[in-house]
Structure 1
Amino acid sequence: MSKAAKRLYLIPVLSKALDILELLQAEGEPMSLEALHRRTKVSKTTVYRVLKTFTHRGYLARSTDGLYRVVSKPKKMRFGFAAQSAEMPFSIAVTESLKAATAAAGIDLLVLDNKYDAATAIRNAEEFVKARVDLVIEFQVEQDAAPVIADKIAAAGIPMIAIDIPHPHATYFGVDNYRAGHEAGGVLAYHAQRQWNGKVDWVLGLELPEAGTLVQSRTTGAFEAVKAALPEIPVESFVRLDGRGMREKSRKVVADFLNRHPKDKGVLIAAANDTSALGALDAVRELKREKQVAIVGQDAIPEAVAEIAKNKSALIGTVSHEAAGYGTRLIHIGLALLSGQTVPPYNYAETKLVTAETAGRI
């Protein structure tokens, strides 16, 4: 940077970007990357990145023959995001990831809170239609509300991405629920083999029926992994309980089950999420049965990861859904939908297993 530029507090790369844009405006006709490089004397790499950025932000258009031209600046895109709940740690993490991604992409984001409630989620869908957002990202847990929400959004001609719970007309983004559950079940089975010589009295699926069969397949996957590793467990020992994904509800149903089986010692619990897993842990501790129970959750929320890292905790693992990466993936899918690209109906988030050996490194 020259001394004059430093005194004027100029940003060299921004100046180069404006040189490229101003040249295109002055010429009034499409130009190639090579021509812009020659005329501006800016490196090809910088010219390429500037052109990609201006095209992404809507200042330029690229034709099929590779030429760039100035276009009228469109209105700034606005996405609507209906968050699952401002009180649920995983939902908060997804919201923060999406806020960061939209800010980086130059997209406005209207965030509404579904409050873990179907009626609220439906009202929020109506609010997005009134606001005329360009795209809706829906994160709510009630399967029965999904078609109502989807119909309102589709009737307004607005594309939609549904997180975790499939919605009619929407593109899905979330984990492969069966595989995530299978990972959890593998951890439970290994614990039973190593700590209890494979002796298991009960395998509990602490699930969220309201979310529908896709999320319930987390329990199915966990059960199948345990059955494969411990085939001697009778089928009647596999029990599904409704924890609704909530801590207190999960605590109550697990406490009730354990009180009805006071002498049973090997109990494996696969929870639909970490909030339920922590509720189960609360019940186990209240009844002083930590040595007899092993729990694995989903989501890798901070409190669960901290608990897993503790010595001899009954919460032995969780499957991270890598919430920090949701925002970028959701924006890529959303922009692809709006540009008319073909997008797969199901798009899966990455997962990572977290156990006591790895919890300290998360």
Structure 2
Amino acid sequence: MKRVAALAICGLVAGAAVALAAPGPRYRIGFANLTDDPGTKIEATGFTGDLVRESFVLAVRELPVDLVLYDNHGDPHRAIANAETAVRDRVDLFIEYNDDPSANASVAAIMTKAGLPVLAINYPVPGAPLYTADDGEAGRIAGEALAESAVRDWEGHPLLGLIVGDWERGAARLDARAAGVRAGLTRRLKTLRIVKIAPADLGRVASANPGAKLLVATMSDPLALAAKQTLEAAGRAGDAVIVGQGLDPSIHGGQSDRREIDPNNRGSIVFGSVAFYLDRYGYEVLPLALAVLRGERIPARTVTRHVLVTASTVWREYPPTDLQ
């Protein structure tokens, strides 16, 4: 009897192993990136398009997916041409990352005619689920962090809120980000004076307010590093705290030795940065694509999980030996 039971158990284990080893369906997924150019910063952050592409290449390694890559080159006409090519390439699903509404409408029409599902990144494609950053939420997180820092360290001191951005670039995103910062700051500091300025004006404004402690929200990490240099040169480093946006490699350093946000650099006036994780989009978007292909319902809008990352938490998000 024991031998029969043992054989039955062995049979169950063997059957489970076969089931686990049995290959499921493989899917052919097309991804058209906004741009693959390593020199072009995207989404008003310090991230570049090649990092988004690389995240898809890395994420697909453990998935039943054959990835077909396209580069939109930031060109609406190329985006439409890539969609047409993807149909000819017989993809099962198309992921579109393109910032032109008219071109996205054309892409939607092409895919609808071909009977192919679409996922959109950061910019809507009619009828397609959207994965997107939430600029307002990211700004709010930064504003609240600055306000909490001021309440903790500078109670009773005059305060000035500064929102620093290249306002002519990525206007809609930056406006939402700045509005979020303002909301986050004033939730704790109801009467705080807040000024939106360009990077070139920071030194002048700092010098014009010598008695104020400066709560500086920059719209990107490169601007956070530039603001730090400006305030140090003006002799105001002891009167300022900075929070950036993005958590891109310029601020956390990746595997390089240049890390502004680092457990060994806790004295920096750059307190932290709000993570956007553009270099992990592949890990977020491809599972959504697979869910669609398997007939599962996904939300019409999925947003990035923005968090504030500081010197005490950065290695949790980007370990020094992170191989992604």
TM-score tier after normalising by the smaller chain length? 0.7 to 0.9
The whole-number CA distance in structure 2 between the counterparts of 1:48 and 1:159 is: 29
Kept in 2, the 8 Å contact 1:254–1:283? The answer is no
Kept in 1, the 8 Å contact 2:207–2:234? The answer is no
Kept in 1, the 8 Å contact 2:107–2:125? The answer is no
Stretches of structure 2 lacking an aligned partner (at least 5 in a row)? 1-7, 42-46, 253-258, 319-324
User: Which of the residues 319, 326, 348 maps onto 2:303?
Assistant: 348
Task: Rate the CA distance shift 1:258–1:131 in 2: closer, same or farther, 3 A.
Answer: same
Bigger relative contact order, structure 1 or 2 (CA pairs below 8 A, ≥6 apart): 2
Residue 101 (structure 1) shift? 2.2
Identity %: 25
Residue 332 (structure 1) shift? 1.7
The whole-number CA distance in structure 2 between the counterparts of 1:56 and 1:209 is: 47
User: Which of the residues 102, 106, 112 maps onto 1:148?
Assistant: 102
User: Which of the residues 284, 291, 311 maps onto 2:238?
Assistant: 291
Residue 100 (structure 1) shift? 1.8
Tell me which residue corresponds to 2:187. Answer: 228
SS at match of 1:77: strand
Tell me which residue corresponds to 2:44. Answer: none
User: Which of the residues 59, 82, 97 maps onto 1:127?
Assistant: 82
The whole-number CA distance in structure 2 between the counterparts of 1:162 and 1:269 is: 33
Residue 220 (structure 1) shift? 2.0
Tell me which residue corresponds to 1:187. Answer: 145
Tell me which residue corresponds to 1:258. Answer: 203
Residue by residue, what CA displacement relative to the aligned partner does 1:212-270 show, whole Å, maximum 9, x if unpaired?
A: 64664332222111101111214xx342x5xxxxxxxxxxx312243255222433232
Kept in 1, the 8 Å contact 2:32–2:82? The answer is no
Residue 107 (structure 1) shift? 2.8
Tell me which residue corresponds to 1:80. Answer: 31
Asked if 1:219 is matched to 2:178, the reply is: yes
TM-score calculated relative to the size of structure 2: 0.73
Tell me which residue corresponds to 2:292. Answer: 337
Equivalent pairs counted in the alignment come to: 285
Residue 187 (structure 1) shift? 1.4
User: Which of the residues 28, 45, 52 maps onto 2:16?
Assistant: 45
Kept in 1, the 8 Å contact 2:29–2:65? The answer is yes
Asked if 1:174 is matched to 2:132, the reply is: yes
User: Which of the residues 295, 308, 330 maps onto 2:261?
Assistant: 308
Letter in 2 for 1:43: A
The whole-number CA distance in structure 2 between the counterparts of 1:134 and 1:266 is: 55
Task: Rate the CA distance shift 1:100–1:359 in 2: closer, same or farther, 3 A.
Answer: closer
Residue 99 (structure 1) shift? 0.8
Stretches of structure 1 lacking an aligned partner (at least 5 in a row)? 1-36, 58-75, 242-252
Task: Rate the CA distance shift 1:231–1:298 in 2: closer, same or farther, 3 A.
Answer: same
User: Which of the residues 158, 163, 170 maps onto 1:199?
Assistant: 158
SS at match of 1:343: coil
Residue 334 (structure 1) shift? 1.4
Residue 304 (structure 1) shift? 0.8
The whole-number CA distance in structure 2 between the counterparts of 1:280 and 1:122 is: 37
Residue by residue, what CA displacement relative to the aligned partner does 1:306-338 show, whole Å, maximum 9, x if unpaired?
A: 212334323211122345653233112112333
Tell me which residue corresponds to 1:9. Answer: none
SS at match of 2:244: strand
Task: Rate the CA distance shift 1:295–1:92 in 2: closer, same or farther, 3 A.
Answer: farther
Kept in 2, the 8 Å contact 1:267–1:293? The answer is yes
- The structure that has the greater radius of gyration is 1
Letter in 2 for 1:293: A
Task: Rate the CA distance shift 1:330–1:204 in 2: closer, same or farther, 3 A.
Answer: same
Kept in 2, the 8 Å contact 1:138–1:160? The answer is yes
User: Which of the residues 117, 137, 145 maps onto 2:95?
Assistant: 137
Residue 126 (structure 1) shift? 1.9
The whole-number CA distance in structure 2 between the counterparts of 1:93 and 1:302 is: 10
Task: Rate the CA distance shift 1:342–1:360 in 2: closer, same or farther, 3 A.
Answer: closer
Tell me which residue corresponds to 1:317. Answer: 272
The whole-number CA distance in structure 1 between the counterparts of 2:167 and 2:76 is: 17
* Aligned ranges 1:3-18 → 2 under 5 Å: none
Kept in 1, the 8 Å contact 2:97–2:120? The answer is yes
The whole-number CA distance in structure 2 between the counterparts of 1:162 and 1:284 is: 40
Asked if 1:97 is matched to 2:55, the reply is: yes
